[in-house]
Amino acid sequence: MGILTLLVGFLVIKTKFELIKNIALSYLIISALLLSDRLLLAGIGLPLWIPDVKTHYRNRPDTLKDWGEKYQNKSSWTNRYGHYDDNFPKQKPNNEFRGLILGDSVSMGHGLTSSEAFANQLEKILRKYGAVYNTYQIINTAVQGYSIWQEYQIFLASLEFKPDFCALGFCMNDVTEPFSVSSNLGGPGIDYQGIMQIPNAFFGYLVNETGYGRLVLGFIAHSKFRQVEKLRETYNVNYMISHSFNDPKIEEAWEAILSDLSRIHRLADGNNIPFVMLIFPFTSQLFDESMDTPQKILIAYAQKNNIDVIDFTEIFRNVILDNIAATAKDKDAKLKSQDIPKLYPEYINRYFLDDDHFTAEGHRIIALRLFKYLRDKRLIKAVIEKDR
């Protein structure tokens, strides 16, 4: 373009024809705008997500980054579909067992390599112990910041992969996050991803994928982020955890979430795809039973609608208690559960990176339990009888 611009500039100087000169000048103006836009974009950079009309944003395909020093600079790579996963053929090979994982950063594997996320760990377990099928592919479609309404759209688009089962990872902020972000629910339409939610694909591209668009977005993002934080005060996760379904502040949020869960369940049923919901706790819930209201709501909903559910709150609580029992002294025999986070943080840190994201070992626990579920439901056959 630079060489062509020089040639056109020479043409403007030399030509005597006004029409040609006007066309050449128009080209020079447009090319100058395009070149300056690319230079701006080179300086500002693009986020790791791209705009999407249906889901607000999605992972940028074929993108390599690292998680930073906090997470030992572990690599993060998305495949050609934008999944936090290896590449695989769209066409399902003969005699392949495929699973589909829906979720947010917890299911995606925040802070970990894709091979450490439970989707990939489950895939490795199936390859080692699975029988009958020639190959196994567990597709990790989870995306940071996603909630149930976005996961429905991902499920809909992922039917082309012909999954044999679908698992949805439910995190506690799935209830509150949409109302503090999504413009459809009164939010500002922008979050830490730095993508403005725009219902038109062309204008969405202009704002989110161009240098001038990113420049303008940078100026307005600060006020938008303040709006997000203000809304999060209303839709606070800790408040939601400790209050009932009928609390006026969160009743609308729960109704929206359960409605979207119903849509996913109906979509799975309509396509004869076994569906299971995985409930992932915050660490504050593990040893305080007064904080398990969301789990009770979700389990009651699942039972009423014949949805399979695995509550990892109890599973991780028991795993941590087993760890403590193996090393605790006699003086700890009457230890109160609420004291465990203070006295034994190392056992929680073995499985949790922070309040809600899991370590690689935490993902291994999830993969093993999901493997047991698949075997017990007879969706697969295995050559072993023990899970650990």
Distance CA 343, CA 100 (A): 38
Cβ proximity of 155 and 139 under 8 Å: no
Residues 85 and 31 in one domain: no
352, pLDDT greater than 80: yes
| Sign (positive or negative) of CA dihedral 207, 213, 218, 224 | negative
Nearest to 386 by CA among 72, 128, 193, 113: 128
Distance CA 154, CA 176 (A): 20
Instruction: Show Cβ contacts of residue 366 under 8 Å, excluding neighbours closer than 6 positions.
Output: 118, 121, 278, 312, 358
Q: Is the model more confident about 24 or about 135? A: 135
Is the residue at 191 inside a domain?
A: no
Burial of 184 (0-12, 13-18, 19+ CB in 10 A): middle
Residues 159 and 262 in one domain: yes
Residues 20 and 127 in one domain: no
Is the residue at 74 inside a domain?
A: no
Residues 32 and 128 in one domain: no
Distance CA 388, CA 169 (A): 22
Which of 45-49, 146-150, 158-162, 236-240 is least confident?
A: 236-240
pLDDT at 21 (0 to 100): 66
The structure's pTM equals 0.87
Other residues' Cβ atoms within 10 Å of the Cβ of residue 177: 25
The backbone region for 72, taken as left when phi is positive above 0, alpha when psi lies in -120 to 50, beta otherwise, is: left
- The predicted-structure confidence for 197-252, as pLDDT tens digits, reads as follows 888 899 898 889 999 888 888 877 766 666 666 556 556 777 788 776 777 777 88
Residues in the chain: 388
Is the residue at 198 inside a domain?
A: no
- The predicted-structure confidence for 294-324, as pLDDT tens digits, reads as follows 999 999 999 999 999 999 999 999 999 888 8
pLDDT at 363 (0 to 100): 98
Residues 271 and 332 in one domain: yes
Residue 171 β-bridge partners: 280
pLDDT at 387 (0 to 100): 44
Residues 8 and 87 in one domain: no
Cβ proximity of 317 and 287 under 8 Å: yes
Residues 157 and 20 in one domain: no
Instruction: Show Cβ contacts of residue 142 under 8 Å, excluding neighbours closer than 6 positions.
Output: 84, 101, 102, 103, 104, 105, 106, 107, 108, 109, 119, 169
Residues 251 and 375 in one domain: yes
Instruction: Show Cβ contacts of residue 177 under 8 Å, excluding neighbours closer than 6 positions.
Output: 145, 147, 235
What 3-state class would DSSP assign to 96?
A: strand
Residues 140 and 284 in one domain: yes
Distance CA 342, CA 344 (A): 6
What 3-state class would DSSP assign to 76?
A: strand
- The predicted-structure confidence for 75-125, as pLDDT tens digits, reads as follows 999 999 999 999 999 999 999 999 999 999 999 999 999 999 999 999 999
Is the residue at 15 inside a domain?
A: yes
| Pairing assessment for the beta strands 64-66 and 75-77 based on DSSP bridges | antiparallel
- Total domains in the fold of the chain: 2
Distance CA 136, CA 96 (A): 6
pLDDT tier at 388, thresholds 50, 70, 90: very low
The domain containing residue 170 runs over which residues?
Answer: 79-176+236-382
Residues 171 and 38 in one domain: no
**CB under 8 A, 24+ apart: contacts of 239-242:** 240/172, 240/175, 240/176, 240/294, 241/172, 241/282, 241/284, 241/285, 241/291, 241/292, 241/293, 241/294, 242/290, 242/291, 242/293
Is the residue at 372 inside a domain?
A: yes
